[in-house]
Structure 1
Amino acid sequence: MHRWDPIAPPVTGLVLPVRVDPTGRAGPTRGQARGPGWRITSPGLVVPATVDDGLVEQRILEASARGGDRAVVTGWAALRLHGGGFFDGLARDGRTRLPVPIAGNGDRLRGRAGLEVVEDRIPPDEVTYVHGIRCATVERALFDEMRRIGEVREMAVAIGAACAAQLTSLKRIRLYTATRRWYRDVRMVREAVALAGEDCRSPQEDRFRLIWICEARWGRPLCNRAILDTDGRLVAVPDLLDPQRGVVGEYAGADHRDIDQHESDIAREADLRGVGLEYVEVVARDLRDPARVVRRMREAAERATALTRRWVLGPPPSPTLDEILDRRDAARARRDT
């Protein structure tokens, strides 16, 4: 599985923390818990020392155990439990751990290191169980995550990451947001939904898309749409495409530094130019300088005017994301009956 896969890998072997037991029957004694065989996850709760909380799902489980029976994991942590690969529990720097957001749902919780208390209650119809953990449903968790982020463009990126993992769709989160008019920050959530897309395959690709829309003002690009030559052969499936200007955009992540991948990228660029499309490639540092990206885009558009169009759009993806989700829901309903 590629490390940038939007769908999280399957998880097994999670270990629920146990309480310290003075008798030693249901758990380690206090003295044993302080020894090398155990790791304290929170006051009174321990797991064997061999259990590593480097696995983000284990970290979420340990945090949820602190909350009690009514607590509900939400935000990025619930989205990870649902299978969102890009919700890895790390800040933008890729190193700093985000606290696990948990709603107390009536219990008095205190925020501690690694745990953030969400004030709002999560009603029963928005609670489900994943890996035995009480967590918010997808749309509720995404709604809470956007409110935590608090910045419209990054909120839109979070929506895109959830769509890439096939957890929800723009239609579904739009309908959910419409039912939450009284929540604080809902105006920003609506703005993010309006700006979001569901066809990007990574957050960085989505951030490039937002520069394309907001700074370059080129309108919404087509994302991951097949390009064919005039004989119907596949040329490429670029990250972004402006069919009127004849410009494609590609985000080159760290894996593109691999020599074989780099050679493939060079051939891909040549193939696209060969059918009359200009090419803009960006890397992570470029996304921190939108003006630089816009300048490259404009230069590419100027070059594209000299090219002869020898390409056509491939068909739109089928089935659509909403069709995939509807079929999945129907299959689950049949299993539950």
Structure 2
Amino acid sequence: MLEAVVLLPNLGAITGWAAYAWVGAKWFAGMGEGRPVTLATYGHKLVARPGLAISAERMPPQERCWVDGLPITNPARSIAFEMRYAADVREAVRWLDLAMASDQVSTAEAAAYVATLNGWTGVGMAREAIGLADENVWSPTEVDLRLLWRIDLGRTALVCNRPVFDLEGRHIGTPDVLDLEAGLVGEYDGKLHLEGKRRAVDIQREGLFRAAGLEYVTMVSRDLQDPSGFLRRTLEARSRAHRTPVADRRWTIDPPRWWTPTHTVEQRRALTAVERNRFLGNRAMGG
């Protein structure tokens, strides 16, 4: 990025994934590995070269800012660029979900910006992605899991990392993805989950979810390449879940009065530094 910036015209800026990586947004440096850094050149003609791509699309001055000496486009424009030029809608959702996980942009802010881009390349896919997004993902694989349920199985009542409580207000656990209609927990188990101590915790959590009347299905790394087995296990779990009447459920996502909710960008932005460290520290364990 530092090598690229010397090529920028006076009104240019770095955009896309690289702008998020520059401000330290989690996941973006890794997701951008092997991808070019895109320079928004505001109509100036520069020639792309290895590692660099050029975007000459219109850019009002207010969409450009300086962070630690580097000109970048603002969060809404930066993520809209990646959404519009994504390979498909799943990739577009992944970019947006992870941008919102950094609290750099919200669903409403992304939607408001995309609404100004009528006729721009990929704007239709960006709008579709906004409708599929969630502001509370903790890892890229959670996005993949949720979209398998949302797109492949047509499930709509899905939430990510929403704390689940028993009917006395005790916290049972916080599942990666929860199907509210079916009462089904979806969890991704990566390499971290195979370690002895973590595995024991996972088994205990599964037992607590099941005791509260929730069904449970696990996704593993092999399912990322071929999700057919995971989708089959999901349908089987949903079938079992429907045997439990809604009236007999012993769980809720409505928090007790003393709980501090953090499942939206707005809620997290309102936290103090001390509160962020206290309430969001577990997000480092996501995925």
295, 311, 316: which one aligns with 2:251: 311
Q: How does 1:124-203 map to 2 (within 5 A)?
A: 124-203=61-140
* Pairwise CA RMSD: 2.3
Contact residue 139 and residue 173 of structure 1 kept, 8 A: yes
Residues 242, 89 of structure 1: alpha-carbon distance in 2 compared, 3 angstrom cutoff: closer
**Cα distance in 1, alignment partners of residues 125 and 218 from structure 2:** 30
Q: Normalized against structure 2, the TM-score is what?
A: 0.84
AA of the residue aligned to 2:18:
A
CA positional deviation for 1:190:
1.1
**Cα distance in 1, alignment partners of residues 12 and 158 from structure 2:** 41
SS at match of 1:66: coil
61, 64, 68: which one aligns with 2:5: 64
Based on CA coordinates, which of the two structures has the bigger radius of gyration? 1
SS at match of 2:72: strand
* CA displacement 1:121-171 (0-9 Å, x = unmatched): 422110001121011000011111112214111101111001111111111
206, 220, 231: which one aligns with 1:294: 231
Q: Show the counterpart of 1:17.
A: none
**Cα distance in 2, alignment partners of residues 225 and 90 from structure 1:** 25
Q: Show the counterpart of 2:46.
A: 109
Contact residue 287 and residue 293 of structure 1 kept, 8 A: no
SS at match of 1:102: strand
Q: Normalized against structure 1, the TM-score is what?
A: 0.72
Within the alignment, does 1:321 sit opposite 2:269 as a pair? no
**Cα distance in 1, alignment partners of residues 118 and 8 from structure 2:** 28
SS at match of 1:267: helix
User: Unmatched 5+ residue regions in structure 2?
Assistant: 273-287
SS at match of 1:155: helix
**Cα distance in 2, alignment partners of residues 207 and 68 from structure 1:** 38
State the identity as a percent.
37
User: Unmatched 5+ residue regions in structure 1?
Assistant: 1-59, 329-337
Q: How does 1:253-268 map to 2 (within 5 A)?
A: 253-268=190-205
* CA displacement 1:66-104 (0-9 Å, x = unmatched): 33544310000012223321211545xxxx521111122
SS at match of 1:265: helix
SS at match of 2:222: helix
**Cα distance in 2, alignment partners of residues 327 and 176 from structure 1:** 25
Q: How does 1:31-70 map to 2 (within 5 A)?
A: 60-70=1-11
* CA displacement 1:35-77 (0-9 Å, x = unmatched): xxxxxxxxxxxxxxxxxxxxxxxxx222222335443100000
**RCO higher in 1 or 2 (8 Å CA, sep ≥ 6)?**
2
How many pairs does the alignment contain? 265
